């Protein structure tokens, strides 16, 4: 699906629903970011049985993240 067709669909949405569309787009972007982050964290191929090394800053960020 191209950006042009999505843009046409968004333009056909009534104005009172644009906030919901915006929240859904934010959710899709969040989900894509998590998927990308998860793919980058798989280090078992390099370190054997260690799936994911612990990063203190990332642990703190995940504790404060409202999306979790």
Question: What pLDDT does residue 65 have?
Answer: 67
Closest CA to 10 of 26, 24, 21, 25: 21
pLDDT, tens digit (0-9, with 9 covering 90-100), for 11-48: 999 999 999 999 999 999 999 988 877 766 656 666 66
Q: What is the dihedral of CA 16, 22, 23, 25, to 10 degrees?
A: 140
For residue 52, what pLDDT band results from cuts at 50, 70 and 90? low
What residues does each domain of the chain span? 3-64
Handedness of CA 39, 44, 47, 53 (dihedral sign): positive
Model pLDDT, residue 11: 93
Q: What's the pTM value of the predicted model, to 2 decimals?
A: 0.52
CA distance 27 to 9: 18
Give Dmax over CA atoms of the chain in angstroms: 53
């Amino acid at each position: 699906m191209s950006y042009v067709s999505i843009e046409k669909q968004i333009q056909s949405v009534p104005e009172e629903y644009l906030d919901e569309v915006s929240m859904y787009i934010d959710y899709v972007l969040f989900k894509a970011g998590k998927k990308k982050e998860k793919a980058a964290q798989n280090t078992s191929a390099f370190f054997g049985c260690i799936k994911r090394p612990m990063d203190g800053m990332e642990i703190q960020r995940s504790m404060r993240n409202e999306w979790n």
